[in-house]
Structure formats: structure tokens, C-alpha cells
Structure 1
Amino acid sequence: VNPATFWMVRVQPLHPLIAASVGLFLALAAGLINHLRPHPMVRQATTWMVGLYAFQIAVGALNIWFKAPIPMQMFHLVMADVNFISVIAVGVFAFAEGIEKVESRPAPFSEEPVRRATWKDYVALTKPRVISLLLFTTLTAMIAAQGTWPGAIVFFSVALGGYMSAGAANAINMVIDRDIDLTMKRTATRPTVTQSIPSRDALAFAGSLALGSFAILWAAANMLTAVLAFTGLVFYVVVYTLMLKRRTWQNIVIGGAAGAFPPLVGWAAVTNSLPPLALYLFAIVFVWTPVHFWALALLLKDEYAAAGVPMLPVAKGDKATVDQILMYTIVTVLVTFAPFILPGVGWTYLVAAGLLNALLVMKCLKLRKVVDRPRASGLFHYSMIYLAILFLVFAIDRVLVVG
């Protein structure tokens, strides 16, 4: 585009991504507001807000289909004003008098006084141990996409932006799950439970991380990368945490897609595209997730049961869980071999995938034979090593083949 062109024309190619970003933000806002302001009037307002924006997206699509006649363009602009009014209305209802502010509920009684938060508490909000493996898939996907070192600036910027986005999702998750975290021993001392970090401050921190992540990823890479990272955040908070986690044992199957976005973020950061090979990486993490988390759920089933979270071992029992783990292990094996059929993937990856899969199947079969904590723990910890080595070897293979 000619730099002398009017700025609105220059940003026109980004319009679909901008529209997607706004839609994701409204979905996130609607989910959080409905949780934090549990009132029928608020729920009705957020439903109208999301519904009107969905209608606006449809109007935009029709504009493209009919090559944007002037009357439809004008209607599209009017609908933008209506959407803005709906957002204002949600804010008015959410902060109206007499509506409970869930985030202001006091901390549970404790003999120890609430201590002042430190920087370590804010780091804990982001769940760095959980993020590390996801971030590793992002960075190795960058190298795999480029076929060589992508450059220090983009590499470390995506590492920072990816961490901030995942950290924001985890911080919001802690605010939402504060009530059930209180009932579980391993989560009862989280800063959102003890209120050493008040829920309102945790949400402000998460919002700052999300906004900073979007800006960094857009500036250092491209807007597609920023939107993909934000999509993963919204999917984790809205689809997994708010919609599925407390309702169905399939929560981790569908909601686990949130953890499969990091490879897409890494690939898009250096190519500004999502070819089939990038989608295969998404699929690998997606089908691996149930194996990993259900092994963990076997270890924590008593805590999940006490909290009322219907994880598979709680809802269906150990045998059904192990059967599902074995089924998803078989699917994982098949999906990890699939990239080899595409050009640009060599024998190094195929051999490594074969060895890693053989050990994964072996550990699953041992667990199926005798379901106990040591074998469930062994599968859980190996599954993390499995994914890390698989992505590392994939990146090395791509450097050897493409670089």
C-alpha cells in the first residue's frame, strides 16, 4: 500500500483481525462480567452485547459479499454505534447499586492476618511452571517455521509476549476459581484465595499483561500472532474455565485446545501464516492434552471430588479414565506421525517420534494393567518430557531439512 494513502485505507487489510480482536474482547468481558455480577439484568445486557456484535460481523460479511454498496456501508457504521451503546449499557448495569460484586467477597477466616503481597505473589498468579512447557512449544515452533534462528528480537519478544498472555489467562483463572481453590489443599494458599492480592488487583494485573502481550506481539511480529495469543487466552478463560470445567468431564478435551495455540503463535510470528504443518502442531498438542491431564487427575481425584469438579476420574472412575487415556494415546501416536507425509519433515523427526511414542504406549499399558499413583505419576511426568523432546526434535529436523 502506498504510504501516501489515507490511513484508513492502509489499515483495511487488518480489518478482519481487528474485528476478531474486538469480538474476542467482548466475549471475554461478557464471560467475566456474568461471573462477577451474577444478576439476570446483567446477563441479559451481556447477551444483547454479544448478540449485536455477532450481527455486526454478519453485516460486515454481507458487505464483502455484495462488494460494499453505500447503503450497506452506512448500516454497518450505524451498527457500530449500536454496539458501542450496548457496551456502555453493560457497564451501567454491572456497576448499578444492589448488584453483588463477587470479586469483593472477603477472604476466608484465618488465624493469620492477610500479609502484604510481594512480587513473588504476582509471579505466582501467572503459574510459571505451567507456562514453561507451553512457551517451549511456541519457541521451537518459531525455529521450525523459519528453518533457522529467527533473530533475537522477535524470538525474545515472542517469548515475553507469550508468557504475558498465558500469565494473564492463569491470573484470571485464579480469580474465577477462587471458591474451589479454597477447598483444595494444593491451591488453598494461592494469593487470590488468601486475598494477599485482592481479586480486583489480580484482574487489573491480568488486564495489563494481556494488553502488553498484544502490543508486544503485534509490534515485534505481526497482528496475526497477537490475535492468536489472545484467542488462546479467551478460549482458556471463557470456554474451559467458565463454560466447561465445572459442568462436564469432557472439559479438558474441548478446553484443552487453549493449550494448543502456542505453536500457532510461534509459527505465525515468523511467517505471518498458518500452513498445514502449523495446524498439525496444534493437533499434536490438542490430542496429547487429555493423556497428560487425566494422568494428573488420577493423582488429584480426591481433591477434585471435594471441590465438585467433574474431572474424568471423579465422574467415571479410574478404569474409564485409563481407557480414555489409552484411546487418546493411540490418537496422539497417529497424529504425531502425520507431519512426515508433508514436505519439509525428515527422518530425524520420524525416528524420534517413533521412540517417544513407543515409551508413551508402554507407560499407558502399564497404567492400564495396574492403576496406582506411582504409574499415574510416571505417565504424567513422562508426558511433559515427551512433548518437549518431540517439539525440540521437530525444530532440529526442520533446520536440517529446510535451513
Structure 2
Amino acid sequence: MIYLDYQASAPLAPEARAAMLPWLAEDGHANPHSPHRAGRAAAAAVEAARARIVAADPALSGGRLFFTSGATEAVNWALIAGIATLLPGRRRIVTLATEHACTLDTVAWLERQGIETAVLPVGSDGLVDPEVAAAAIDDRTGIVAVMLVNNEIGTIQPIADIAVRARAAGALFLCDAVQGYGRVPLPPADLIALSAHKIHGPKGVGALFVRDGLTLPPLLHGGGQEGGTRSGTLSPMLCAGFGAAASVAADRRDGDAAHVVALARRLRAALPDWTVNGSTAHRYPGNLSLRRNGIDAGRLISGLRDIAFSAGSACASGSGRPSHVLRAIGLDDAAARTTIRLGFGRYTTEEDIDIAADQITRAAIAQQAFAA
């Protein structure tokens, strides 16, 4: 099968798998929070993984990295606990209409608890107007939450400018860096959410970076692991895989980037009758959201069984909800149904691109001919 769904989950790196295997052996079962020798060895593996993740991007220095079950937990923790640390006059959250559901749904829940929220629109290119953002980030704002690379359409927000504006207003800046970490330099931020399986690590583990000087109350209560801040037994296996994947991403960043750019150019040239959703200039090239009039994306995906690709976010697909991202950039439901998302990266070959583009083109033409 040709796998073109990297935004949903990237293939596991061989280095990550190798780092995980020892913790599946007969003597790899110790709890990293136990005081005996085996427990201390497991704890050492967790700390080594933490150091490797931090070392992969300079923005992760000057703070503490806490392991979580994934980015959804990290974002929930950052928003819910972050707003609780602020003064009553700072109970306002500013975010964008194209954020991941874990951000938007948490913000909506907080609004029901009495928190003021502002969900800013984006243009047809998927980018927020810097002046609109500047006007919304005022002295009542407690948290500004913005995704670095959009998971559905690949656009890259003017994140550095937004971070500066947030800090100038005295607000905390939360960056959902899930799709950007290991690929795009991270901005200075107070809080950064990460996920292992988007960078060729295992599923089930993520992290939240919290800058020095900022202390979050726990979201999960129990055993007081992670310095008393995030309860729950950590998996040395998952942490080790995350750490290995982060190191490989850092070592191969330039090579991976050049490879992805070349594949993106090849794919766009092979699909000239498709329109790119979102900005063509400010985007991560390994995520192509494309639409073509007269196409039913669901039928296309189910019909091409030897190619794994999607119509958009795996989370939105599971919920049955229409894409809020495509709606935010001005597409109606009919146009959204003609959209496919092709995600590729380190292990995608030129042959994969050529075969996939040919089969997608043939299937699209056949659909249009049948409809006519």
C-alpha cells in the first residue's frame, strides 16, 4: 500500500522501534516510578528520552517538558490549568477558527464555565489577519492559542508575530506544534503541545512544554508523577520511542525538508486539475489539501484501496462532523466533499507519488464521466 496520510500518523521510524523493543523484553517491565534498581533504570530511560526531545528544538529550552498521553491531553491541560492560574481580569482566551478540535472543543467547554473567548476568523488562504489578531489580544486576554502548522490544510500561521503580541499584552502563548515539531522551527512560547506519532514515534505519548517561571496545577490527580504535576505511570517504551524519533527528526531535518519539497513539486505537477486549499506560499509542503469539482472524496478514498489518504482530519472523520477548517476558509459543504488530503514525508518515494497521482487522476476522471 502507498501511504499518504502522514498528518494522521507518520510511519514508525526504525530507530524509534529499536529504542522501544528492550522495554518489551522479559526484564523491561519495571515501573519508572519505583525505587528499586529496575525502576531506576526505567526512570533513567524516561529522562534520557525527555532530554532528546528537548534537544531537538531550541524553543524547548528554558522550561520543563512533561510527558502526557498525547497532544489532546497536553492542550486540555494547558488551557484548563493555564486559565486557572490567571487573575480574574485575565479570563479571556483568543484562538483561531482553524485550530484542532482539541483546542476548539476545550475553549468551548471553558466558555460554558464562564470564560470569555474570541475565535478569530481566517482568510481564504487559511491565515489570520495580523491586525485582527492584534485588535483581539488585549489586556483582558489570558491565553492566546494558535497552531503552528494546520493539520488539515498545511498552512503556517504568522506565529512569531502572534507570540510577540501575546507576550506584549501580558498573555500566555500556547502553541499546538504537533504538525510542526521536527519540521518547522518552533516559536518562543509559554506552553507547547507535542505528539510523538506525528514525527515517526509511537502513538499514545505526547508532551507539554511549560516555560520556567510558570507552574500549572494538575489536570490529572493521583500518584503525583512528573514532579507532582501530571499523575499517571509513564511508559518507558513509549517515551524511549518518542525520544529516538525526536533525535532522528533533528538529525535529518534538512534532508527530510528537501525530500518533501521535491515530492510536493512532483505531486502538484502530476495533479494540475486540482486546486490547493489554503495558502500556497505559507505552508508545510508535505501536506497538500486539494479539491476538484465534481469529485466525491469519500468515494475516491474507498475506491482506491491500495492508497491510504484522507479527506481531512482523522479526528473529524471519526466524529462525522464536516470540516470546520474548510468552512473557515470559505468552502461550503459541497466543495468540502470534493477535498482530499495527501500527506507524505521521509519514507515516501517518487514512485509512490507517481503511482498515486496516476491512480487518483484515473479515478477522478472515471467519477466525472459516470456523473455526466
Q: So what's the TM-score if we normalise by structure 1?
A: 0.25
The structure with the largest helix share of the pair is 1
Q: So what's the TM-score if we normalise by structure 2?
A: 0.27
Q: Specify the structure having the higher radius of gyration (Cα).
A: 1
Q: Using CA pairs below 8 Å that are at least 6 residues apart, which structure has the higher relative contact order?
A: 2
